[in-house]
């Protein structure tokens, strides 16, 4: 196979040189971090008062972890390292409607991020003759604008179609001869079933490959999409705290995702003991962003579970590969690619006085997509045989939940005492999706 590199020197850099580069960038990043109120305190307490206190990559261990909780506490500007006037963009985690984890970028940050996404796209064989349909949510979520900019940087014709509306997606694919797609794996499966339903002939399309990410999926699911759509599917991993897409991506070997170590310093730890996991062992990925000035984030606990591949990759890239993400070490749910914490749902429903004491969150497959149902007990006073007030309440809960978590749940109201009560720790979430990862 012939491989194409976006930046051959960096992508195939000998490990020694790569580590020197990482150390220099880590020191720079610590310098930026020390300008933020959050890290001034956190690093100060750990005895890191200047970038010169970091003398080797081993000194990373002196830096405390940063959690999503810390980011929330630091909202809005606790992690900002540059003057507000220098900031040109912000993004947030999917499923959040505002506050919690906001990341700021200056012009240089956007430029560097775009180059990482371009590196991923180019490494799968894309060129400027490709037509790229970006079927993912635009907006605060990083997947839309991140891939959009990366695609343009490669020189492809980018169609900012956004997610949803399959009929229009087919029309765009046919009208402009789309060759490359980006979507969540579940949306790709949905597209395929709608194609059959609507009688769109595969031969009328020029599809070659797709990038699929934002949610966990198995090797079997990848193969299924590849066979059904006759395309190559590449796994794409990223998170808003580390800019978004462009953190780790499969090369044409499709044996693990190269994590771009010149931009992101990776560790894998045991989520319980927080000790470094043994070589090749599964654990939680911890990332330090080495390519962003406006919002430096050090040793971020991603909560994503993976392991490093050992040994080199046939493509010649020297950046280590991670295995596809198998799950999370916290209770975050990913529903059709959108992050949802059970606590977000609880906050909304428990604030309503009509709501009783018990509720149950259920996620199941509806065809290839995920469906979220929230079953809620109402207080005896609010329960009646008259369905009108109950329907109005149901609609109010549905709307408020949708505004908070950005996805549309199915709401069911139940009489007080009718939902199952678990002995011991309450079971509030039932994830009935098949676990095939
Ligand atoms: P967000 O900050 O909204 O971009 O969400 C990031 C989270 O989405 C990650 O921490 C992962 O849990 C999940 N995620 C993103 N890409 C993948 C992928 N390729 N496989 C599994 N999970 C993913
Ligand atoms: Zn490779």
196 and 323 in a single domain? The answer is: yes
Instruction: Report the nearest atom of ligand 1 relative to the CA of 324.
Output: 20
Residue nearest to atom 8 of ligand 1 (CA): 214
CA distance 419 to 4: 57
Substitution site in 238, 243, 437 for ligand 1 pocket (most atoms within 8 Å of beta carbon)? 238
Does residue 436 sit within a domain?
Answer: no
114 and 183 in a single domain? The answer is: yes
CA distance 79 to 241: 11
CA distance 79 to 84: 11
371 and 320 in a single domain? The answer is: no
11 and 28 in a single domain? The answer is: yes
CA distance 7 to 404: 41
Q: What is the CATH number of the domain that holds 61?
A: 3.40.50.12780
347 and 423 in a single domain? The answer is: yes
User: Helix %, strand %, coil % for the chain, to 5?
Assistant: 35, 25, 40
CA distance 226 to 203: 15
299 and 374 in a single domain? The answer is: no
| Residue 157 CA to ligand 2 centre (angstroms) | 26
**In 3D, which of 321, 302, 324, 323 has the Cα closest to residue 260?**
321
Does residue 437 sit within a domain?
Answer: no
- Domain endpoint, select from 330, 361, 395: 330
210 and 243 in a single domain? The answer is: yes
Does residue 126 sit within a domain?
Answer: yes
- Domain endpoint, select from 283, 302, 330: 330
Residue nearest to atom 15 of ligand 1 (CA): 214
146 and 113 in a single domain? The answer is: yes
Domain total of the chain: 2
Note the ligand closest to the C-alpha atom of 136. Answer: 1
Residue nearest to atom 10 of ligand 1 (CA): 239
Instruction: Report the nearest atom of ligand 1 relative to the CA of 236.
Output: 19
| Residue 204 CA to ligand 1 centre (angstroms) | 32
Does residue 5 sit within a domain?
Answer: yes
Q: What is the CATH number of the domain that holds 379?
A: 3.30.300.30
Domain residue limits at 229: 1-330
- Domain endpoint, select from 330, 362, 377: 330
Does residue 182 sit within a domain?
Answer: yes
Instruction: Report the nearest atom of ligand 1 relative to the CA of 95.
Output: 3
Query: Model confidence over 135-189: pLDDT tens digits?
Result: 999 999 999 999 999 999 999 999 999 999 999 999 999 999 999 999 999 899 9
Q: How many Cβ atoms from other residues are within 10 Å of residue 297's Cβ?
A: 23
90 and 186 in a single domain? The answer is: yes
Distance of CA 361 to the CA centre of its chain: 22
Distance of CA 113 to the CA centre of its chain: 15
3 and 117 in a single domain? The answer is: yes
Place of tokens 């949803």: 164
Instruction: Kindly report the pTM of this predicted structure.
Output: 0.91
CA distance 165 to 355: 34
The phi and psi torsions of 78 (rounded to 5 degrees) equal: -65, -20
Tell me the average pLDDT of the chain.
94
CA distance 37 to 45: 13
As given in the structure block, the two tokens for residue 401 are 């939940």
Task: Report DSSP letters for 105-117, one per residue.
Answer: EEHHHHHHHHHHH
Note the ligand closest to the C-alpha atom of 218. Answer: 1
CA distance 190 to 146: 23
Does residue 118 sit within a domain?
Answer: yes
Residue nearest to atom 9 of ligand 1 (CA): 239
Does residue 322 sit within a domain?
Answer: yes
195 and 264 in a single domain? The answer is: yes
273 and 340 in a single domain? The answer is: no
CA distance 372 to 47: 46
Does residue 138 sit within a domain?
Answer: yes
Note the ligand closest to the C-alpha atom of 12. Answer: 2
Task: Report DSSP letters for 359-415, one per residue.
Answer: EEEEEEEETTEEEEEEEEEE-TTT--S-HHHHHHHHHHHHHHHHHHHSS--EEEEE-
Q: 336 near 375, Cβ under 8 Å? A: no
> Tens digit of pLDDT per residue, the chain (437 long)?
899 999 999 999 999 999 999 999 999 999 999 999 999 999 999 999 999 999 999 999 999 999 999 999 999 999 999 999 999 999 998 776 545 689 999 999 999 999 999 999 999 999 999 999 999 999 999 999 999 999 999 999 999 999 999 999 999 999 999 999 999 998 999 999 899 999 999 999 999 999 999 998 889 889 999 999 999 999 999 999 999 999 999 999 999 999 999 999 999 999 999 999 998 999 999 999 999 999 999 999 999 999 999 899 999 999 999 999 988 999 899 999 999 988 889 889 988 999 988 899 999 999 989 999 999 999 999 998 889 999 999 999 999 999 999 999 999 999 988 998 766 667 789 999 987 64
**What lines the ligand 1 site, CB under 6 Å?**
93-94, 141-142, 213-216, 235-240, 244, 302, 304, 325, 328, 334, 339
Query: Model confidence over 329-342: pLDDT tens digits?
Result: 998 999 999 999 88
For the chain, how many residues are written?
Answer: 437
What is the β-pairing status of strands 232-239 and 327-328? unpaired
Query: Model confidence over 30-53: pLDDT tens digits?
Result: 999 999 999 999 999 999 999 999
Instruction: Report the nearest atom of ligand 1 relative to the CA of 244.
Output: 4
């Amino acid at each position: 196979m012939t491989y194409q590199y976006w930046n051959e020197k960096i992508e195939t850099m000998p490990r020694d040189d790569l580590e020197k580069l990482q150390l220099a960038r880590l020191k720079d990043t610590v310098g930026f971090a020390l300008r933020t109120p959050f890290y001034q305190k956190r690093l100060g307490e750990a005895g890191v008062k200047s970038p010169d206190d970091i003398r080797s990559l081993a000194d990373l261990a002196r830096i405390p972890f940063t959690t999503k909780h810390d980011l929330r506490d630091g909202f809005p500007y606790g992690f900002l390292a540059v003057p507000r006037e220098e900031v040109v963009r912000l993004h947030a985690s999917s499923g959040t409607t505002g506050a919690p984890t906001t990341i700021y970028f200056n012009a240089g940050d956007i430029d560097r991020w775009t180059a990482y996404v371009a590196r991923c796209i180019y490494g799968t064989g894309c060129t400027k003759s490709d037509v790229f349909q970006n079927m993912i949510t635009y907006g605060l979520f990083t997947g839309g604008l991140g891939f959009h900019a990366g695609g343009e940087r490669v020189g492809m014709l980018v169609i900012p179609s956004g997610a949803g509306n399959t009929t229009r997606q087919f029309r765009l694919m046919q009208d402009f001869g789309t060759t490359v797609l980006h979507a969540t794996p579940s949306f790709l499966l949905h597209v395929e079933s709608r194609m059959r339903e609507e009688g769109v002939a595969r031969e009328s399309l020029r599809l070659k490959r797709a990038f699929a990410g934002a949610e966990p999926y198995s090797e079997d699911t990848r193969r299924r999409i590849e066979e059904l759509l006759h395309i190559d599917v590449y796994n794409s991993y990223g998170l808003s705290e580390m800019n978004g897409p462009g953190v780790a991506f499969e090369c044409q070997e499709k044996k693990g995702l190269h994590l771009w170590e010149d931009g992101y310093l990776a560790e894998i730890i045991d989520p319980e003991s927080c000790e470094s996991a043994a070589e090749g062992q599964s654990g939680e990925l911890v990332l330090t962003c080495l390519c962003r000035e406006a919002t430096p984030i050090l040793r971020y606990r991603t909560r994503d579970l993976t392991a490093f591949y050992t040994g080199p990759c046939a493509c010649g890239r020297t950046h280590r590969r991670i295995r596809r993400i198998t799950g999370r070490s916290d209770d975050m749910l990913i529903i059709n690619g959108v992050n949802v914490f059970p606590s977000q749902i609880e906050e909304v429903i428990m604030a309503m006085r009509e709501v009783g004491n018990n509720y149950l969150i259920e996620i199941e497959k509806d065809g290839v997509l995920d469906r979220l149902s929230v079953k809620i007990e109402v207080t005896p006073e609010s329960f009646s045989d008259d369905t009108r007030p109950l329907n109005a309440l149901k609609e109010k809960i549905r709307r408020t939940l949708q505004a908070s978590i950005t996805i549309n749940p199915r709401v069911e109201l139940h009489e007080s005492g009718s939902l199952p009560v678990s002995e011991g720790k309450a079971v509030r979430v039932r994830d009935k999706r098949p676990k095939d990862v």
